[in-house]
């Protein structure tokens, strides 16, 4: 007897047996006829919060998913998780909560599914951390499941996005933009509900969802405000979950994760995508390394001309064929395994066979890509023996050598940049912002935008054990491992030391004799860092290296090949 049949038999006790009468009372209290409990019970998880536009349409989508489940004979049970706005917390202490929320969301989904014994799940996701969090939970649970992305925001006038607002802040600070222009951008760049309109982290992960096959290809990037098409996508997701989906690790395997990396690289996606794929791999028990992902990025040209490394936004990309055309093109170039399955029951290649061909402006054919060079590059050297990550697609410079200006927090660096202290040629070092150091590995969009907005994007580099927003551009190297708070070499850097960065040789070097570096590190003592208690203290104690996805200790060491 298969496990599904056994579950149905156990569920029959819920529907009819006297011993489960107490549980049935509460189903009756919600208007659910217990006779229906023999059907498939589908957990419908939304990551709605009313604190940000990114997930604002999800209650509505959840209702449509529930309708789809019911119409297909299942019983939907909706629930919610927390979600943190990366944009609103950017440049503040609140950003420390962002990556940590990934774990809390994953834990919430895992716990709700365990407690309520759902047969299947639909996870509705949007803002940056909610996507990997849902995938991490599904990797743990290995249940029939699919993911629905809430959809991107429309862009403002002239394709303005939130990135333009942040960079305008830097320009206004330097007197390069009148205040009135900044105010106008603030009012118009984000016209309504949806995730940030560029190929920043959320949309990067939306591309990953489609390449993993755990979402219906093409449904995710339907705009959040495109109510009819989005409702149809939601009902489709509900109906699929009430049917016969395979367990989620069918999609979250090595092939799926490598396909997702190809999609991220080809779309000029965010460095956060790499961090999240590593974390999902750990949760799924797949032994996947940073270097393997870097290898995929190295052989995958950038095919999509998308903000921030290009000109177009998610809405235009979707109109031009979007992820379906991107997947078709990647499969045609043998850059992605088109035989991989999707939640529709068809392969990626079958699902995308009729997608529009590249238009040569928003999407390019693999023979004539938008950019030949890899979008994401892993740098190693004596400053990052465990690796570091740079979004090469968004970097004007490929080589830089200059004196370090060292800061022990994001705030200290931001203050210096705003005061005009950063000089052309310098390498800004921001340390103690790693997963354990921050804690929470903050994104540094406000600092990097200030650098770019001040006209220093082509002459100043930044190196940190923290992260970057998908909207960051310039020569910004993050995820440096091991991090400074755990005694990594970044802790030994002093003002005026020379740092050499080379994207072609994939190196990040502190020009210091090995014995001098060793001596400095031997002298180093861990500083007192803030946020030592509560969820932050617990996270600091348990979190692992960024080069392994910054997952918690309970997940590390569980890989199966
Ligand atoms: Fe939520 Fe950009 S801040 S998607």
Q: How far apart are CA 539 and CA 275, in angstroms?
A: 17
The preferred substitution site among 52, 131, 209 for testing ligand 1, maximizing ligand atoms within 8 Å of CB, is: 52
Q: For ligand 1, atom 3, which residue shows the shortest CA distance? A: 87
Q: Would you kindly state where each structural domain of the chain is located, as residue ranges?
A: 39-154+192-351, 159-189, 376-531
Q: For ligand 1, atom 2, which residue shows the shortest CA distance? A: 196
Half-sphere exposure (Cβ direction) of 336: Cα atoms closer than 13 Å: 36
Query: Mind listing the pLDDT tens digit for each residue in 312-359?
Result: 999 999 999 999 999 999 999 999 999 999 999 999 999 999 999 999
Q: How far apart are CA 512 and CA 506, in angstroms?
A: 18
Q: How far is the CA of 526 from the centre of ligand 1 (A)?
A: 34
- Where the chain has pLDDT below 50, the residues are 559-561
Helices (H), 125-226: 130-141, 162-173, 179-188, 201-212
Round the average pLDDT of the chain to a whole number and report it: 94
**Active centre residues (catalytic):** 469
Q: How far is the CA of 127 from the centre of ligand 1 (A)?
A: 5
Q: How far apart are CA 5 and CA 12, in angstroms?
A: 10
Query: Which residue has tokens 């005061």?
Result: 419
Is the distance from the beta carbon of residue 196 to the nearest atom of ligand 1 less than 6 Å?
yes
Is the distance from the beta carbon of residue 86 to the nearest atom of ligand 1 less than 6 Å?
yes
Q: How far apart are CA 326 and CA 339, in angstroms?
A: 15
Whole-number pLDDT of residue 557: 52
Burial of 377 (0-12, 13-18, 19+ CB in 10 A): buried
CATH topology for 376-531 is Glucose Oxidase; domain 1 (3.50.30)
Whole-number pLDDT of residue 83: 98
Is the distance from the beta carbon of residue 195 to the nearest atom of ligand 1 less than 6 Å?
yes
> Encoding tokens for residue 511?
């020009």
Query: Mind listing the pLDDT tens digit for each residue in 179-237?
Result: 999 999 999 999 999 999 999 999 999 999 999 999 999 999 999 999 999 999 999 99
Whole-number pLDDT of residue 560: 40
The preferred substitution site among 129, 165, 196, 205 for testing ligand 1, maximizing ligand atoms within 8 Å of CB, is: 196
pTM of the entire predicted model:
0.96
């Amino acid at each position: 007897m298969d496990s599904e049949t056994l579950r149905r038999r156990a569920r029959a006790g819920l529907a009819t047996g006297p011993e489960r009468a107490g549980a049935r009372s509460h189903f009756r209290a919600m208007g659910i006829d217990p006779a229906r409990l023999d059907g498939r019970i589908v957990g419908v998880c939304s990551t709605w919060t009313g604190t940000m536009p990114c997930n604002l349409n999800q209650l509505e989508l959840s209702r449509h998913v529930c309708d789809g489940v019911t119409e297909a004979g299942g019983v939907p049970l909706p629930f919610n998780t927390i979600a943190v706005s990366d944009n609103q917390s950017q440049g503040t202490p609140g950003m420390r909560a962002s990556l940590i929320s990934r774990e809390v969301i994953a834990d919430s989904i895992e716990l709700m599914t365990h407690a309520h014994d759902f047969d299947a799940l639909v996870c509705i996701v949007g803002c940056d951390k909610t996507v990997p969090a849902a995938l991490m939970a599904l990797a743990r649970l290995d249940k029939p499941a699919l993911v629905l992305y809430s959809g991107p925001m429309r862009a403002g006038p002239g394709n303005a996005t939130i990135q333009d607002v942040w960079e305008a802040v830097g320009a206004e600070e330097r007197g390069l933009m009148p205040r009135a222009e900044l105010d106008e951008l603030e009012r118009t760049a984000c016209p309504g509900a949806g995730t940030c309109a560029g190929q920043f982290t959320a949309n990067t992960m939306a591309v990953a969802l489609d390449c993993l096959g755990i979402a219906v290809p093409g449904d995710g990037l339907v705009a959040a405000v495109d109510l009819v098409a989005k409702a149809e996508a939601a009902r489709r997701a509900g109906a699929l979950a009430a049917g016969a989906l395979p367990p989620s690790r069918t999609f979250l395997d090595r092939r799926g994760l490598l396909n997702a990396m190809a999609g991220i690289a080809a779309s000029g996606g965010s460095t956060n995508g790499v961090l999240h794929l590593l974390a999902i791999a750990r949760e799924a028990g797949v032994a996947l390394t940073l270097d393997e992902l870097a290898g995929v990025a190295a052989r995958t040209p950038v095919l999509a001309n998308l903000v921030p490394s290009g000109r177009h936004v998610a809405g235009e990309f979707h109109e031009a064929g979007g992820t379906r055309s991107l997947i078709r093109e990647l499969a045609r170039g043998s850059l992605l395994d088109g035989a991989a399955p999707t939640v529709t029951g068809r392969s990626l290649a079958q699902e995308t066979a009729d997608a529009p061909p590249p238009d040569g402006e928003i999407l390019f054919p693999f023979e004539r890509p938008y950019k030949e060079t890899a979008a994401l590059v892993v740098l190693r050297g004596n400053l990052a023996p465990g690796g570091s990550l740079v979004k090469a697609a968004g970097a004007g410079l490929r080589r830089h050598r200059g004196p370090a200006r060292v800061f022990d927090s994001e705030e200290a660096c931001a203050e210096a940049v705003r005061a005009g202290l950063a000089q052309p040629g310098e390498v800004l070092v921001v340390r103690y912002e790693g997963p354990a150091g921050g804690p929470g590995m903050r994104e540094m969009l406000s600092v990097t935008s200030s650098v770019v907005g001040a006209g220093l994007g082509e002459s100043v580099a930044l190196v940190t054990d923290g992260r970057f927003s998908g909207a960051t551009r310039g020569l910004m190297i993050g995820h440096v491992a091991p991090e400074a708070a755990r005694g990594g070499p970044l802790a030994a850097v002093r003002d005026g030391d020379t740092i050499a960065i080379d994207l072609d040789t994939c190196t990040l070097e502190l020009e210091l004799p090995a014995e001098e570096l060793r001596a400095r590190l031997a002298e180093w003592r861990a500083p007192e860092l803030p946020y030592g208690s509560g969820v932050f203290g617990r996270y600091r104690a348990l979190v692992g290296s960024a080069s392994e996805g910054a997952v918690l200790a309970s997940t590390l060491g569980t890989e199966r090949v």
